[in-house]
């Protein structure tokens, strides 16, 4: 799932047009169209502030949208700053090791 695809799903589920949503969050509808269609120029992505506004207007999970936009949610950013050693260990796990960690956390 990509940020743009999820944004489109949420917008359509609310019965909003691109123009409707753009008006509510204070951006141009063409910008939202570019997001939904993965047409933003390389290195450009929606701001955390815009993602927050979109989450509010679409009654969506802001953390999910931030992660799909490859941004780090505030709570995770704070924990990362508190324990960079732990996050570096997790970042260096291969897929099997990460899956094992998740099973341990979930108590499976």
Domain architecture of the chain: domains with CATH: 3-71 (1.10.260.40), 78-106 (no CATH)
What is the tens place of the pLDDT at every residue in 42-90?
888 999 999 999 999 999 999 999 999 999 999 999 999 999 999 999 9
Distance CA 46, CA 65 (A): 10
CA dist., res. 1 & res. 45, Å (int): 16
- What is the percent of the chain with per-residue pLDDT over 70, rounded to a whole number? 100
Instruction: Check whether 108 has a pLDDT greater than 80.
Output: no
Question: For the packed helices 74-82 and 84-91, what is the interaxial angle rounded to 10 degrees?
Answer: 100
For 16-25, write each residue's pLDDT tens digit.
999 999 999 9
Mean per-residue pLDDT over the chain, rounded: 95
């Amino acid at each position: 799932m990509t940020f743009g695809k999820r944004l489109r799903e949420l917008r359509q589920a609310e019965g909003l047009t691109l123009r409707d949503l753009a008006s509510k969050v204070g951006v141009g509808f063409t910008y939202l169209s570019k997001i939904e269609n993965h047409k933003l120029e390389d290195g450009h992505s929606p701001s955390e502030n815009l993602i927050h506004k979109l989450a509010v207007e679409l009654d969506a999970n802001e953390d999910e949208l931030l992660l799909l936009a490859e941004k780090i949610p505030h709570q995770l950013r704070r924990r990362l700053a508190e324990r960079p050693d732990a996050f570096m260990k997790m970042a260096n796990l291969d897929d099997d090791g990460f899956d094992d960690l998740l099973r341990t956390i979930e108590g499976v």
